[in-house]
Chain A
Amino acid sequence: SAVISQKPSRDICQRGTSLTIQCQVDSQVTMMFWYRQQPGQSLTLIATANQGSEATYESGFVIDKFPISRPNLTFSTLTVSNMSPEDSSIYLCSVLGTSTGELFFGEGSRLTVL
């Protein structure tokens, strides 16, 4: 299994500002994924972050709004830019474990935008 730490665990932000969420994994992993869980909703994949290349975004998500960095095999950041109340969500970092297809999740970062 993988231990995933996210910072911050929660934050309250003002409209128009940006927030960067950090994800640290206790082992080297090739693929990291960022998911969003809006209030009362299910999880939706934002993007795939691979080390050494640009992130791959899912339909409905763009790099200008959710820039992602992946400087090494144990760390990634997701920035939520120019926030609006609609961005209030839990953002979860996840990684693929050594067992094929097993996805491990961090505890999430709960973001509230006023």
Chain B
Amino acid sequence: AQSVTQPDIHITVSEGASLELRCNYSYGATPYLFWYVQSPGQGLQLLLKYFSGDTLVQGIKGFEAEFKRSQSSFNLRKPSVHWSDAAEYFCAVGDDAGGTSYGKLTFGQGTILTVHP
């Protein structure tokens, strides 16, 4: 069974600092990988996704993530954090079986990001 690990439960950074959120996955085949953000009282918003091709993917709000097959990782990065980035971030892996499986995501535990002014 696939699994996702986000080692950091809570990260605090200063506004303007760089950010990297870690994500490791366990999956036998080529995974579909996602990063979602959940702001307080909001639903989940997709930041970016990786299906195939270029291993460095760009997302919304200035985020990017790099797929490293050798490390089974899909870390999320942002060069300069804004106070509005404070939220909870979820990494997720999807099955490549297609069809209904595209909606069956396995999520990590989430990382709460706090941004200090």
Contacts and interface: CB of A to CB of B under 8 A. Distances in A.
B46 A104 contact: yes
Given A92-B43, A107-B41, A107-B43, A101 B51 contact: yes
Interface size on B, as a range, is 20 to 34
A108 B43 CA distance: 6
Interface residues of A, number: 25
Interface of A is mostly: strand
Contacts of A58: 104
Interface in B16-49: 32, 34, 36, 41-46, 49
A22 B32 CA distance: 29
B74 interface: no
B108 A42 contact: yes
A74 interface: no
B109 A48 contact: no
A23 to B, nearest CB: 11
